[in-house]
Amino acid sequence: MDRMAEHGGSVINIAALGGEVVQAMLGVYDASKAALLHLTRHFALELAPQVRVNSVAPGIVQTRLAEALWKHREGAVSSATPLGRIGQPTDVASAVVFLASDNASWITGATIVVDGGQSLHRGP
C-alpha cells in the first residue's frame, strides 16, 4: 500500500450479493461479506485521494465455488433472474476492469452489484 499511497492506485474488493441481502442459512458468510463492504467504504475514506477503493458484489455466477447454488437448477436460477441467465465470470471481470480503469477515476467507496437483477426478486 505504501507505493500506492505515493503513486495512486485502485483497490477492488470482491464481496458477494449476500453482503447486501439477507439469505436463509448463510448468515455467517453474508455477515463476512457485509463487513467487507463496510471496510471498502472506510478504506475509501482513509486512503483518498491517492487510492480509490471499491467493491464488486456478484450474485450467482457459474463458477465451481458457487456450484451448489446453480448446478442441477440452471433453468430455475436463470428464469428467476430478470436478465434471464446465470452470471459468468466475465460479467464480474468486466466490472472489476471498469473500476480499475481511468473511466472510474471519480468513483470510490462504491459497490457495484453484478447480479443480472437477482437482488430485485427473491422468489422460490
**Active-site residue set:** 29
Compute the distance between CA of residue 12 and CA of residue 108 in angstroms, rounded to an integer: 10
DSSP 40-95: HHHHHHHHTTTEEEEEEEE-SBSSSTTHHHHTT-HHHHHHHSTTSS-B-HHHHHHH
C-beta of residue 38 within 8 angstroms of C-beta of residue 46: no
